[in-house]
Amino acid sequence: MIPEIEIGPLTLQTFGLAFAAAFLAAGALVGVRFKELGKPVDWAYEACFAALAGGLIGARVDWLVQNWDEASDDLLGNIFSGAGLVWFGGLVGGALGVVLWAWYRGFLGTALLDVAAPALALGYAVGRIGCQLSGDGDYGVEWDGPWAMAYPDGTVPTTEEVHPTPVYETLAMGGVAYLLWRLRNRLTGGLLFALYLVLAGTERLLVEFVRRNDEVVLGLTQPQLISVVMILAGGIWLWLGLRRRPATASA
């Protein structure tokens, strides 16, 4: 594990570096898509900045909420601490930032969702590399399988061999990003984003069965409950959208 990288007097958090790399990768993909759609490529930089700002705020707020008992003792210090970011909070905060940007640019609609779908999957895949490098506790339950590993030097260390779930998520969501990118011209009108919801929700639902999270309801964790909602919403959206296609084409 490499939680930190020291360069002279500087100490860099590998999670933070991966977080930044995720936004850069997603932004580059969005730039290519904007160019294909005849939109200014500079929009990608603007959207990326809005997502980064919102994502950092959202990820930090999510961590503070989940760790309130610990954080409340030094709230100001924990707000500006360099550690403690949660990916789901980053996703929500980043999405809100992009929505505000799109409203300002007059690009708020289903086309924005379809542009974002492959980038969201790619960003998530890259970001999970940071979880693996830092050993931040997002690993799985104890396991003695052929690729099990321990995280003795992680920010949340464990000497037990466990499922390396960040690796699973990087591979799975990398594949999702590739699939969505290949389908970008076939699924439009929000349908590409609907497929993203189904695939991303399914990935998280499944990986949670071997991750170290507490069950909340019906034997499911909080991320699994959110995933079920994503799958249902995306599935219904996709089904309704595909049903309308033949009627629209014949009219």
* pLDDT value of position 63: 65
CA dihedral sign of residues 235, 61, 52, 169: negative
**Domain positions in the chain:** 4-186
The label of the residue with tokens 């995280």 reads 151
Angle, CA of 150, 67 and 5, to the nearest 5°: 50
**pLDDT tens over the chain, length 251 residues:** 787 788 888 877 888 889 789 888 998 999 999 999 999 999 998 998 898 888 778 877 776 776 666 655 554 555 545 555 566 677 788 888 989 999 999 999 999 999 999 999 999 999 999 999 998 888 999 999 999 999 998 888 999 999 999 999 999 999 999 999 999 999 999 999 999 999 999 999 999 999 988 888 888 998 899 999 999 999 999 999 998 876 544 33
Q: How far apart are CA 171 and CA 165, in angstroms?
A: 10
Q: Rg of the chain over CA atoms, in angstroms?
A: 19
DSSP string, 20-65: HHHHHHHHHHHHHHHHHTT--THHHHHHHHHHHHHHHHHHHHHHHH
* pLDDT value of position 90: 74
Q: How far apart are CA 106 and CA 176, in angstroms?
A: 28
What pTM, to 2 d.p., does this model score? 0.84
Q: Which of 190, 194, 141, 197 is nearest to 165 (CA)?
A: 141
